[in-house]
Amino acid sequence: MTTARSEPVWEPLTGYRDLGDEETLSRSREFHDLMKRRRTVREYRDRQVPAEVIEACLATATTAPSGANLQPWHFVVITDAEKKKRIREAAEAEEREFYHRRAPEEWLDALAPLGTDAHKPFLEHATLIAIFAQRNGRLEDGRTVKHYYVQESVGIATGFLIAALHTAGLATLTHTPSPMAFLREICGRPENEKPYILLVCGYPADNCVVPKAGGVRRPLAEAVTWL
């Protein structure tokens, strides 16, 4: 049985205002000045981020575009100390396997200037946001629907979230232990969701240090082509 397709309902674009070239350029440069100060941080204070701040940043993330506007993401905010401890233990177990057995030497050589290893104490000190990608979901009428462009959609939403957290004055770190099946179990998420990224956020520790190599960016001319 074929279900009749819904016809689009159009509405006027609201909220957009042409700022003019001068203001547009000024805003773009201000945003770059803000974002270029973002660094990946691995040392955090034991200070809780207000829930209202996290909610506001997540609200920004959910404004991201997605395939067919199906919004194939779910965010789990973890502040419970016991759950964070379980996540750290599971993540460090996978990371030990990675660093000592699974990672090729070329990969380890690339990571060496960043000073990373299997030790992840930040997972207990900061606020954690587990981001899940949904293979399918349910429509308002109860029907199951396949999600399209899932990786791309969740990646864009994650970028929005990182930018929002940085703009709010928080430090972040993207953590991707592989595999991450333990996250779905600890967070109690269903089988149709796959862990995408464990985003760490919070306040840098006093006397926090970051690897100098982590702040080096390729020249724009090497990253961009104009045609």
| pLDDT band at residue 144 under the 50/70/90 scheme | confident
Average pLDDT over residues 46-60: 97
Phi first, then psi, for residue 136 (nearest 5°) are -150, 170
| pLDDT band at residue 2 under the 50/70/90 scheme | low
> Considering the domain boundaries, does residue 119 fall inside one?
yes
> Considering the domain boundaries, does residue 143 fall inside one?
yes
Supply the CATH number for residue 136's domain: 3.40.109.10
> Considering the domain boundaries, does residue 112 fall inside one?
yes
> Considering the domain boundaries, does residue 216 fall inside one?
no
Residue of 166, 41, 203, 37 lying closest to 115 (CA atoms)? 41
**Can you list the alpha helix ranges (DSSP code H) found in 62-167?**
81-97, 105-111, 122-125, 150-167
What is the extent of the structural domain holding 78?
40-205
pLDDT in tens, 164-173: 999 999 999 9
| pLDDT band at residue 100 under the 50/70/90 scheme | very high
> Considering the domain boundaries, does residue 131 fall inside one?
yes
Residue 32 has, within 13 A of its CA and on its CB side, a CA count of 7
> Considering the domain boundaries, does residue 225 fall inside one?
no
Residue of 131, 116, 114 lying closest to 57 (CA atoms)? 131
> Considering the domain boundaries, does residue 8 fall inside one?
no
How many domains are there within the chain? 1
